[in-house]
């Protein structure tokens, strides 16, 4: 396929159909935040990997969400933003 821009590497086969953009994340320990006088904009409360039967597409987030909420003691009302399906995640 032809690249999206001359000399580029990105083709239509590699790009998300519904978005275009970039992002960056700075991760820091609680101590580093205090040491540098930073004000966090978000907090990671839990990280885990969960899997489900691929035959039942898109049902995996249901038990994974329940698991994460149980482990953190949070409710869905405590969360501002949720991304459920990351189609291009490895």
Alpha carbon distances (Å) from 8 to 1, 3, 14, 24: 12, 6, 12, 21
d(CA 59, CA 62): 6
11, 1 contact by CB (below 8 A)? yes
Entry pTM: 0.54
65, 85 contact by CB (below 8 A)? no
- pLDDT tens-place values along the chain, 90 residues long: 888 889 888 887 776 666 667 788 899 999 999 999 999 998 888 887 787 887 777 788 888 889 999 999 999 999 888 777 665 554
DSSP 70: H
H or E element at residue 68? helix 61-72
């Amino acid at each position: 396929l032809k690249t999206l821009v001359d000399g580029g590497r990105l083709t239509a086969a590699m790009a998300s159909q519904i978005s275009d953009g970039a992002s960056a994340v700075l991760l820091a320990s609680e101590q580093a935040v205090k040491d540098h006088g930073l004000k966090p904009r978000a907090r990671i409360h839990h990280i885990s990997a969960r899997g489900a039967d691929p035959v039942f597409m898109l049902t995996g987030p249901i038990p994974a969400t329940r698991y994460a909420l149980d482990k953190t003691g949070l409710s869905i009302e405590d969360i501002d933003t949720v991304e459920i399906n990351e189609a291009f995640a490895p």
